[in-house]
A and B are shown apart, each in its own frame.
Chain A
Amino acid sequence: GAGVSQSPRYKVAKRGQDVALRCDPISGHVSLFWYQQALGQGPEFLTYFQNEAQLDKSGLPSDRFFAERPEGSVSTLKIQRTQQEDSAVYLCASSLAGSYGYTFGSGTRLTVV
């Protein structure tokens, strides 16, 4: 596609629910990144993939967060048993292998009530 596509744009979840956020990167982009952006803060790195391999997941805040990219294209960030502190915008970015150019999606705004 022309850009990085994220869905849904907005998600409201009741505390304790599981959610799944989708990222469709630019076609041909090998690297895919997830970030979490709390209100009034800069994006914080969560995890990244090169093709289907998850190379770094050091930023995932707890074992309730899980990301996958099984076929090296679309990625899903799953949050289990959501808590209020999970409320944030979740941004996805993709890039060519070894490239320093990152293209970001519009994000998914998650609100946990």
Chain B
Amino acid sequence: SQELEQSPQSLIVQEGKNLTINCTSSKTLYGLYWYKQKYGEGLIFLMMLQKGGEEKSHEKITAKLDEKKQQSSLHITASQPSHAGIYLCGAARGGGADGLTFGKGTHLIIQP
């Protein structure tokens, strides 16, 4: 079964600084999802990457997919308190639309 490893596990960043979160897969990635979760709440979809080399941005968050390295990175520019939360990467369980396997998450804290 596919395993996703996220690094770092937790991150404390001063407001205004940039940061990067990584997600590495044990198998070939056919699609990679990024979600954000506030404590005690559900998952909020950020973006999905499907092709190697693909890069997507939404506001100050950019995600890239490196198919050869079986890795994705999530980069936040000029972090704000609203960016605090748990970031989860997910990949298709069986290569189809039958649910996701998730990493353990990266807990991001923004210090004012």
Binds B, one of A12-20, A36-44, A68-76: A36-44
Q: How far is the CA of A56 from the CA of B88 in the complex (A)?
A: 23
With A41-B104, A41-B105 as given contacts, are A91 and B99 in contact (CB-CB < 8 Å)?
no
By the criterion of a CB under 8 Å from any partner CB, how many residues of chain B are at the interface? Answer: 25
Q: How far is the CA of A101 from the CA of B100 in the complex (A)?
A: 11
Q: How many A-B residue pairs have CB under 8 A?
A: 63
With A33-B99, A48-B99, A100-B97 as given contacts, are A42 and B104 in contact (CB-CB < 8 Å)?
yes
- CB neighbours (8 Å) of B44 from chain A are 104
Are the C-beta atoms of A109 and B40 separated by less than 8 Å?
A: yes
Least CB distance, B63 to chain A, in whole angstroms: 15
Q: How far is the CA of A109 from the CA of B37 in the complex (A)?
A: 14
- CB neighbours (8 Å) of B90 from chain A are 42
Are the C-beta atoms of B45 and A102 separated by less than 8 Å?
A: yes
B59 at the interface (CB under 8 A from A): no
For chain A, give the interface size range. 20 to 34
CB 8 Å contact bits of B79-112 with A (1 = contact, 0 = none): 0000000001010110001111111110000000
Least CB distance, A45 to chain B, in whole angstroms: 5
Are the C-beta atoms of A43 and B45 separated by less than 8 Å?
A: no
Q: How far is the CA of A6 from the CA of B42 in the complex (A)?
A: 10
- CB neighbours (8 Å) of A62 from chain B are none
Are the C-beta atoms of A56 and B98 separated by less than 8 Å?
A: yes
Which of A's residues lie within 8 Å of B, judged by CB? 4, 6, 31, 33, 35, 40-45, 48, 55-56, 89, 91, 93, 95, 97-107, 109
9 A-B residue pairs with Cβ-Cβ distance under 8 Å, sorted by A, are A4-B42, A35-B99, A40-B105, A42-B90, A48-B99, A89-B40, A102-B45, A106-B41, A107-B40
